[in-house]
Amino acid sequence: MLPDLVAGVALLALTAYVLLGGADFGAGFWDLTAGGAQRGAPVRAMIKRAMSPVWEANHVWLIFLLVVLWTGFPVAFGSITSTLAVPLFLAGIGIILRGGAFALKGEAATIAEARALGATFALASVLTPFAFGAAAGAIAAGRVPVGNARGDEWSSWTGSVSILVGLLAVATGAHLAAVFLGADSRRAGRPDMVRAFRARALGSGVVAGGLAIAGLLVVRSEVPALYDGLTSGAGLVCVLVSGAAGLITLRLEWRERFEAARYTAAAAVAAIVAGWAIAQEPYLLPPDLTVHEAAGAHATLVALLVATGLGLLLIVPALTWLFRLALSGRLAYEENPRP
C-alpha cells in the first residue's frame, strides 16, 4: 500500500512538471521560431511578460520528483540516473543555461550579446524537454536494467521509442505554451497576439496528435507489453480521454476560447502521462523491477509521505497565490508589452 502511495505522489509531481515545466520550455520553442529581431519582437515580448513571474516556480516539481524517487525508490533512482546519465546531464545543462540566459537577456550591453543570450535560451528550451522525453522513452521501452550503470549509456536512450517520446515532449510543451500564451494575450488586450498564438496552437496541436498516434504504432512494434497496456482496460480509457480532450482543445483554439482550452489541453497531456504509468503497472523499471520491489524501507516511506504532506501545505497555497497574481495581471512584466 505505501509503495503505491509514494508512486502516486511521484506520478502527480511528474504530471505537474510535464504541464507547467513543459509549457515553460514550449515558450522557449516559440521564442526560437518567432522570426527575426523585428518580426519576432512582439512574440518574444509576450513570452517574457508571461514567463517572468512564474518561470522559476515551475521547476519546483522537478526537484520534488527527484526527492521522492531517490528517497522512496533508491534502487530505481540509481539505475535510472546511471544508465541515463547522458540525457539527464544534457537536460540539467539545458536548464542551467536556459535559466541564466533568460535572466540576463534584458541586461545585454550589445546586440551581439542579446542575440547570443536569446539563442542560448531558445535552443536550451528545445534540448531540455527532448532529453527528458528520451529518458522517459528509455524507461518505457525497458532499456534501463536494474543496477548501477547496467545499461548502455548511448543505445539506452537513442532507440526509436526514446526519439519519438523526445519529439512528443517538445511538441506537447509547444502546444501547451501556445494555449497559455494565447490566453495571456487575450487578458493583455492584444488581439494580434491572440491570432498569432491561435495559429501556433492549432499547428502544434496537430503535430502533437500526429506524434502521439505514431508513438502508438512504434510502441506496438518495439514494446508489445506497453502497447497492450495502452490499448486495454484503464490504459485505453486514458488514451481515449487524451484523444477526446485533444480534439476539444483544437475546437476551442479555432474559436479562440483559450481560457477553456488551457484546461482541456492540460487534461489531454495528463491523461497520456497517466496512461503510461497504468500501462506499465506494476513495473517501475519494466520488465524486471516492480514498484514494491523498488520501494525503500517502511519507516522511510512513512517519513516521506508525512514530509510530503507538510511540504504541500506550504507549496500548494504559495504557488496557487503566485499563479492567481500572475493570471490577474498584477505581476505582469509590462502592462503593454513591446519590443
Which residue carries 536550451 as its cell?
124
> What's residue 335's pLDDT?
45
Q: Dump strand ranges (E) for the chain.
A: 283-285, 289-290
Report yes or no on 333 lying in a domain: no
**DSSP string of 71-110, one letter each residue:** HH-HHHHHHHHHHTHHHHHHHHHHHHHHHHHHHHGGG-SS
pTM over 0.85? The answer is yes
Number of domains in the chain: 1
Report yes or no on 23 lying in a domain: yes
> What's residue 137's pLDDT?
96
> What's residue 332's pLDDT?
57
Q: What are phi and psi of 290, to 5 degrees?
A: -85, 170
- Give the separation between CA 315 and CA 306, rounded to whole angstroms: 14
Closest C-alpha to 23, from 1, 4, 50: 50
Output the domain CATH number for residue 272: 1.20.1630.10
Report yes or no on 336 lying in a domain: no
Q: Is 63 exposed, middle or buried (0-12, 13-18, 19+ CB in 10 A)?
A: exposed
Report yes or no on 332 lying in a domain: no
**DSSP string of 168-179, one letter each residue:** HHHHHHHHHHHH
Report yes or no on 248 lying in a domain: yes
Handedness of CA 159, 221, 208, 22 (dihedral sign): negative
Q: What domain range is 109 assigned to? A: 2-327
> What's residue 116's pLDDT?
87
Report yes or no on 240 lying in a domain: yes
Report yes or no on 85 lying in a domain: yes
Which residue carries 536494467 as its cell?
145
Report yes or no on 239 lying in a domain: yes
For 281, the 3-state DSSP assignment is coil
Q: What is the residue-level pLDDT of the chain in tens, covering all 339 positions? A: 899 999 999 999 999 999 999 999 999 999 888 887 788 888 988 888 888 777 778 888 999 999 999 999 999 999 999 999 999 999 999 999 998 888 887 677 777 887 888 889 989 999 999 999 999 999 999 999 999 989 999 999 999 999 999 999 999 999 999 999 999 898 888 899 999 999 999 999 999 999 999 999 999 999 999 999 999 999 999 999 999 999 999 999 999 999 999 999 999 999 999 999 999 989 999 999 999 999 999 999 999 999 999 999 998 899 889 888 877 767 655 544 444
- Give the separation between CA 302 and CA 156, rounded to whole angstroms: 33
> What's residue 333's pLDDT?
53
